[in-house]
Copies of this chain bind each other. A is one copy, B any other.
């Protein structure tokens, strides 16, 4: 297992990662970037155990409902790269059963890879979304074939891939990039049916980072995000060699979507869990600020908070039902119920903006106009601000100011914007999420219920 500092060292491996137009050469000491490194390092330190042969308990496979619930919920306390690492391993295991049908030795390669990953305590991020080029054309018909990641060359020992993967949260902060096809492929598109694990520092890999991290000189104005952000990566594979032992699919077009579907389930479970916590957090802020404003007993405020509570409870119920109805595979891994996972994820994403609207409506304009901590420290105006931010006798003006800062930071500033978009987009946009939910719903049963209610039961249908 690695300590946080060993992790920091591991990032000095020659990787080509860019930020604000520059190549970053020392990630652990680069401003802004450094915060994210520290987050990942903290999880390493938290689980570090010097005893030989131990592995991170966060990287074990849940064998029943209780373990699945425990793993899922505890992932919320870890950094996001830890979570994607776990999701990557679970994805490989979920996909493994189906890929076995190809008759190739992918299953063995996956097993070796997963064992290695756990033993060497690395971090992995998942690379799905391709650049896609012209959405109206199949991968094999694009003017520029590189818009879908594909094999451009092949040696006795491995393949050479080219392409780009977008929106890869934490890509620069892990050790491996888990590359998988973005969607189903058809005969003739064999070169696009490629899944493999690529080291971040492999020659040809280039990552451009973007982040919602605050650039304000005073980090105190961003009480949550100043230390809790994680850049997204625009990952470019500029002719990258991958040895066969790290290739998990290579040309079997019929299996191209297996990885994406497997990942989808785990990604949406993670998203749903995060949303359940997030919803409770938004309820909490609404209640706290209504109390600090001295308005928590107003009928219309209570109504809005009650609506928020109902939303938070529904998202939580979907998560609970998804886990309570999980299935255990013959191999002994527990998987959440797909129908409940997807419906809950969709609902949470679609309603997030209403939750935020309610919070802003309850909180008031001071979400935006509360002076900074530096203003509070200014001798001319500090005490006056405190005086005028005070409401009821037992509410301190600075306490209230800090609550407003937190609400702005989390919901009405860069991070809030990031959240609004990712809630919708993670899992593929609301449209894709609707389709997936529909796929897992038992439409035939619903039709039978309807026919029975109509007195048109057995035998009455389409002549």
Contact = CB atoms under 8 A, between A and B. Distances in A.
Given A18-B378, A20-B217, A391-B135, A453 B294 contact: no
A20 B277 contact: no
A396 B456 CA distance: 13
A277 B132 CA distance: 33
Contacts of A316: 321
A90 interface: no
Contact of A368 (B144, B403, B421, B445): B421
A447 B287 CA distance: 7
Given A378-B18, A393-B143, A215 B212 contact: no
Contacts of A437: 306, 309-310, 313
A394 B136 CA distance: 13
A459 to B, nearest CB: 11
B380 A300 contact: no
Does more than half of chain A's interface fall in helix, strand or loop, or is it mixed?
A: helix
Interface in A435-456: 435, 437-438, 441, 443, 445-451, 453-456
Contacts of A173: none
Contacts of A344: 314, 317
A307 B434 contact: yes
B294 A313 contact: no
A384 interface: yes
A450 to B, nearest CB: 3
A406 interface: yes
A294 B369 contact: no
Contact of A320 (B282, B321, B412, B461): B321
Contacts of A368: 167, 210, 212, 232, 417-418, 421-422
Contact of A380 (B23, B223, B282): B23
Interface in A261-304: 277, 280-285, 287-288, 291-295, 299-300, 302-303
A412 B421 contact: yes
Contacts of A295: 135
Nearest to A407: B454
Contact of A234 (B167, B321, B371): B371
A51 interface: no
Interface string A120-150: 0000000001011111100000011011000
Contact of A390 (B144, B206, B293, B320): B144
Contacts of A394: 462-463
B215 A217 contact: yes
A458 B419 CA distance: 26
B389 A131 contact: yes
A14 interface: no
Contact of A314 (B22, B343, B369): B343
Interface stretch (A103-111, A179-187, A194-202, A355-363): A355-363
Interface in A312-364: 312-314, 316-318, 320-322, 324-325, 339-340, 343-344, 346-347, 350, 353-354, 356-357, 360-361, 364
Q: Which 3 A-B pairs have the closest CB atoms?
A: A21-B374, A284-B450, A412-B417
10 contacts: A18-B378, A21-B373, A21-B375, A133-B392, A206-B384, A215-B216, A310-B343, A313-B437, A357-B424, A361-B429
Given A282-B450, A309-B438, 16 more contacts: A146-B387, A147-B388, A164-B388, A208-B371, A210-B368, A212-B368, A280-B449, A284-B443, A287-B443, A310-B343, A312-B441, A320-B340, A361-B425, A361-B430, A399-B462, A412-B418
